[in-house]
Amino acid sequence: MQIQLTTTQPLSADTLILPIQQTDDLPEVLNALANRFNLTPAALQHDFKADFREVLLLYQSEGRKTYLLGLGKELTAMIWLRAFRELFFRQKDRLTPTVGVDLSGFDADVIESVVLGIRWGGYDLKLHSTDKPKTTEFYSEEGVLEIYIADQQQGIAEEVLHRAEAIAATHRQMLDLMNSPSNYKIPQVLADWAIASGRQHGYSVTVFDKAEIERQGLLALLSVNKGSEHPPVFIIAEYKPDNLPDAKKVGLVGKGVTFDTGGISIKPSTGMHLMKSDMGGAAAVLGTMEIAAKLRLPVHLIGIIPATENMVDGHATKPGDVIGSYLGKTIEVIDTDAEGRIILADGLGYMVRNFQPDVLIDLATLTGSVIGTLGYHAAGLFSNNDDLTSQLLKSATQTGERLWPLPLWDVYKEDILSDVADLKNFSGKPLAGAISAAKFLEVFTEAHPAWAHLDIAGMAFTDTEFGTQKNATGFGIRLLIDFLRNG
């Protein structure tokens, strides 16, 4: 599907989308539309209230179709994205090859969310089905999306469209990675994706295999991998902007558990099949690295992904074992299902020792505790830096990928005290689990002054209109790109 910007409304689009906000002026807007389409104003006002995601289809005498799309009262980036995503997903079989969207009454900035929503609306979750439906005409190579904009918006609209297309293409690949079952997505698959992306978009990628991981002393990662037949990988990606030797250096660390049984502390069978998604942090980091390189953002970006499975066999790490780590600290493993923080310990330690970033951010589908606290509406934000917290919250508001700050008080250190090692990986308490996990990770940042931990467990894989089970959202990519652009 091709996208064209135009300041006029040509007749080539047989389907027109008119987004409408729910404002005090709505009666006047609907009166004007009634006159335009030869409708009775009272009937239109009765049938359409412009509620969020409300859709009213109007047929015109010459055969054109017009969808009135309600946006609700408060316009945000996520409102735009979700409204268009659902409309195009639900109606994709009914769309004509050319579709027009009238954004002439809105700022050009909304183009990003609209395009992301429309691209995402064509997503096919049936990655390995032998009975895949035929691609609809609109979402085929011959399909055309015409976006109508105001004359004065042309310049900014082109810039926004370029950014939206860069994000959308990578985002789709991250959805595929996250939704792929674990037999199609061993750790090496993440490494291969990163290598191919780096070659295509001009950033460096180094992958440590198991022998190099052993040589480097990444003992925490090795301990989680012991029960798996597939070796771990340690991915290091680095993007440097041209001619900016003093660019801000940002380090991203993402949890890359490609399948999580819980290890010896095995999970219940109900829902375990969804543990193919336990690499949501890795997906956010991989996606952000590629998009930053595509957009040539003026930031020095390093991404580290420790990747492994967490499986069960006779070699697996046992509860009560004491393991090492890259920084030399010893960890008492109370619960092998708290494996994400263990591999992040090596990722964070390697990052701070070898790259000394100005800003350090890790992302992980880490705890069920954060879901118990925030549900499926926000990720937990833990940070030791007020300015970084403020910047991330601003990007969260801008993108609609919500964050909520939770405390890092030192009183919670007692939850990770060990009798036999430097610290333990799990408090054993049925409370404050997300906080104690963050306190564990904090130890491996070596008191970095600008660190943030994002627990995205409730946001990376959730219910959507695309399937009957939870599926990937790509959470964190848009948030991080906005942060890198504006932070």
Active site (catalytic) residues = 267, 341
455 is in an annotated binding site: no
255 is in an annotated binding site: yes
Known binding residue 159? Answer is no
Q: Which two tokens stand for residue 182?
A: 């674990």
Q: Please indicate if the annotation marks 24 as binding a ligand.
A: no
Q: Can you tell me the distance from the alpha carbon of 4 to that of 12, in angstroms, rounded to the nearest whole number?
A: 12
Q: Are 400 and 75 in contact (CB under 8 A)?
A: no
At residue 378, what is the residue type?
A: A
Q: Distance of CA 95 to CAs 17, 39, 85, 126, Å? A: 11, 23, 14, 21
Cα separation of 460 and 275, whole Å?
Answer: 12
Calculate helix-pair angle for 477-486, 154-179, nearest 10 degrees: 140
25 annotated to a ligand binding site: no
SS3 for the chain, per residue? CEEEEECCCCCCCCEEEEEECCCCCHHHHHHHHHHHCCCCHHHHHHHCCCCCCCEEEEECCCCCEEEEEECCCCCCHHHHHHHHHHHHHHHCCCCCCEEEEECCCCCCCHHHHHHHHHHHHCCCCCCCCCCCCCCCCCCCCCCEEEEECCHHHHHHHHHHHHHHHHHHHHHHHHHHHHHCCHHHCCHHHHHHHHHHHHHHHCCEEEEECHHHHHHHCCHHHHHHHCCCCCCCEEEEEEECCCCCCCCCEEEEEECEEEEECCCCCCCCCCCHHHHHHCCHHHHHHHHHHHHHHHHCCCCEEEEEEEEEEECCCCCCCCCCCEECCCCCCCEECCCCCCCHHHHHHHHHHHHHHHCCCCEEEEEECCCHHHHHHHCCCCEEEEECCHHHHHHHHHHHHHHCCCEEECCCCHHHHHHHCCCCCCEECCCCCCCCHHHHHHHHHHHCCCCCCCEEEEECCCCCEECCCCCCCCEECCCCHHHHHHHHHHC
Query: Do 351 and 357 contact (CB within 8 A), yes or no?
Result: yes
Q: List the binding residues.
A: 255, 260, 278, 337, 339
